[in-house]
Amino acid sequence: MNNKLQFRLFIGSAYFKVLLMLLSFILIFWQVNSTEVRSGLSNFRQHAEHSQAFGPIYIVLLLMPVNWLIESVKWKLLTNDFYPQSFMLCARGVLSGIAISFFTPNRSGDFAGRILHLPASERINGAVHSLAGSIAQLLITLTAGIVALVIVFEKIFEINELFSSFIYIVLPLALIAFHVLFFRIPMFGNYLSHIKLNYKWIEKVSAIKNISRILLLKVYALSMLRYFVFTLQFWILLQSFGDMYSGWLPLALIMISFLFISVIPSFALSEIGIRGSVCIFLFSAVGYNGTDALVISVAIWMINVVLPAIAGAVSMLYFKLSN
């Protein structure tokens, strides 16, 4: 490859990365500037100033990097399985994934930001391993949410025989089935490896057969730890709104809200509205002030999603289109 062609590729790559970063910034600003977010942040600021609840806010802010450090450790464990890389590169991939996920429904594009920091030859492998990590996090969210829903179901919904059967029987059985399938992920790799088609991507995807159950268990445990961190963040801020939120019921509602948010289809521009609607519905259904939960959900979204997404938009300047 001559120097002139290399220079053109470098310029084209630089333009693409800058454009991707600017698009991320625009979309982040668009959401932050929405009426729901501005109103929620204004109400939260007034609450903090009135109740002097700055201590809980500082704690929640300090827990934000813990949240994403755990996710970076999880990603490093997964990439060590096929392409060992430094923790810094793993952290950049995680942050880039947060930024790119603003473009996709239910943040499903998170894997794209991560694999951009991998060599081109390893990106299919990276996408598959990233999916395993995402499934583990979703399983934890589903498990905690469904357990909480079974416990408080009758406090939120009207009792209906068909609906009750779904909540008490179908969901727990489905949860068990999902866990069995998750820990048998290598089996799907074995099936793919026997497909007699000459496609390189099949060979790459079939590499999941090498993922050990020990690795899956470690990823599952880290996902559980991360779930504990962002649940704790919500609970800490909720306590600052008064003693009425003490006890197990508010904690169960937090878990159910995470469950609903994870399964309701949403795009970036409507995500915060869905978060708020879910929180208002659940907390109001049992007699709490739904607005308190709405305000906290906006604050948590700003801390856990928007701030890392800004860092992720900048980190996208470091990946290589082909390496």
| All residues at 6 or more sequence positions from 238 whose CB lies less than 8 Å from its CB, including other chains | 245, 250, 254, 292, 293, 296
In a domain, 21, yes or no: yes
pLDDT score, position 140: 96
- pLDDT, position 317: 75
Nearest to 182 by CA among 162, 156, 211, 145: 211
Distance in angstroms (rounded) separating the CA atoms of residues 40 and 271: 14
What is the model's pLDDT at position 7? Answer: 43
Query: How many distinct structural domains can be found in the chain?
Result: 1
Of 205, 202, 193, which is closest to residue 82 (Cα–Cα)? 205
Task: Give the integer Cα–Cα distance in Å for 17 and 113.
Answer: 12
Report residue 107 as tokens.
């943040």
Instruction: Specify the pLDDT at position 221.
Output: 97
Whether residue 323 lies inside any domain: the answer is no
241 domain-assigned: yes
Overall residue count recorded for the chain in this entry: 323
Q: Is 226 exposed, middle or buried (0-12, 13-18, 19+ CB in 10 A)?
A: buried
Q: List for the chain the helix, strand, coil content (%; round to 5).
A: 85, 0, 15
Q: CB–CB of 173/91 below 8 Å?
A: no
Q: Quote the CA–CA distance of 52 and 132 in Å, as a whole number.
A: 42
pLDDT for residue 185:
82
Place of tokens 């445990």: 221
* Domain assignment present for 252: yes
**Ordered per-residue pLDDT tens for the chain, 323 residues:** 555 555 454 454 566 667 777 777 777 777 777 677 777 777 777 766 666 667 888 899 999 999 999 999 999 999 997 888 899 999 999 998 888 887 776 677 788 888 888 888 888 888 888 989 999 999 999 999 999 988 888 777 766 777 777 788 888 899 999 999 999 887 776 666 666 655 566 666 666 777 888 999 999 999 999 999 999 999 999 988 888 888 889 999 999 999 998 888 765 555 677 788 888 889 988 888 888 888 888 889 888 988 898 888 888 777 666 55
The answer as to whether 202 is a domain residue is yes
Distance CA 163, CA 154 (A): 11
Q: 299 lies in a domain?
A: yes
Class of residue 28 by CB neighbours under 10 A (exposed 0-12, middle 13-18, buried 19+): buried
Residue 237 corresponds to which amino acid?
L
Q: Tell me, what's the pLDDT at 139?
A: 95
pTM of the predicted protein model: 0.86
pLDDT at 9: 45
Whether residue 280 is contained in a domain is answered as yes
Domain assignment present for 104? yes
Q: Which domain holds residue 31?
A: 3-318
What is the number of other CB atoms lying within 10 angstroms of the CB of residue 14?
12
